[in-house]
């Protein structure tokens, strides 16, 4: 039975290297809440933060199930408009990172809560310019903030986690202002939800969503 399982797993992984490459979902690591978070909103206006953590399929899939997230869109951030397309970004020379624009209702969630999810289940923030075997600057860990408050929350949370030694290696997540976000091609949007039987999704992204459901029961929503 063990050999059969190994053969099956190897078979799945051998064909899983599509679009975003071959990688293995990192184990969930429930983390403490940020000591610093956003202040209560004075208006009901939605807010935006852009998060990069490897292949955008999985990051989008996670945040589509978070309470208070109005919309999660796969795309590119960090580079120029002329190179904001999958074929060019995949060369790793554009400055872009595969990213997800997370629009959220600050009355229901917060930048701090979203970052807690980001670091806990969405990716491994200690891997530099890669997630698993997916290598290149386009797979880097990054937080593109849209307000000084988000910047402060992100920097303080990283310092908090590093000081607590919750990871075996230092966090390498880039914290930078969002220059502009470019939505990815239509076929990348909602990819995990629309292709749940894709071997890459089965091996890499469905476990992240399952970890979210397990570790964040209070904010997990079915969609």
Active-site annotation, residues: 55
The count of other CB atoms within 10 Å of the CB of residue 19 is 14
Pure H helices in 52-205: 56-63, 86-89, 111-117, 148-164, 191-194, 199-200
**DSSP characters for 28-54?**
P---PPPSS-PPPPSS---EEEEEEES
CA 105 to chain centroid, in Å, comes to 18
Kindly provide the residue ranges of all beta strands, DSSP E only, lying in the chain, ordered along the sequence.
Answer: 47-53, 69-77, 97-104, 130-131, 134-135, 141-145, 174-177, 181-183
For the chain, first and last CA: distance in Å? 35
Q: Give me the residue label for tokens 């670091």.
A: 119
């Amino acid at each position: 039975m063990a050999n059969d399982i190994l053969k099956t797993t190897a078979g799945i992984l051998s064909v899983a290297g599509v679009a975003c490459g071959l990688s293995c979902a990192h184990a969930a690591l429930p983390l403490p809440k940020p000591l610093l978070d956003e202040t209560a909103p004075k208006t009901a206006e939605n807010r935006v933060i852009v998060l990069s953590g490897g292949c955008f399929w999985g990051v989008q899939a996670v945040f589509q199930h978070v309470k208070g997230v109005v919309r999660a869109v796969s795309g590119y951030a960090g580079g120029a408009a002329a190179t904001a397309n999958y074929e060019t970004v995949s060369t790793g020379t554009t400055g872009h990172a595969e990213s997800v624009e997370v629009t959220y209702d600050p009355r229901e969630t917060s930048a701090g809560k979203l970052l807690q999810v980001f670091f806990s289940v969405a990716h491994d923030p200690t891997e530099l310019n890669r997630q698993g075997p997916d290598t290149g600057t386009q797979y880097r860990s990054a937080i593109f903030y849209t307000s000084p408050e988000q910047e402060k929350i992100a920097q303080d949370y990283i310092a908090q986690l590093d000081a607590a030694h919750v990871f075996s290696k230092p966090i390498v997540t880039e914290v930078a202002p969002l220059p502009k976000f470019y939505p990815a091609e239509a076929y990348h949007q909602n990819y995990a939800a629309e292709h749940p039987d894709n071997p890459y999704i089965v091996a890499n992204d469905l476990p992240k969503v399952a970890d979210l459901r397990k570790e964040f029961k209070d904010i997990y929503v079915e969609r």
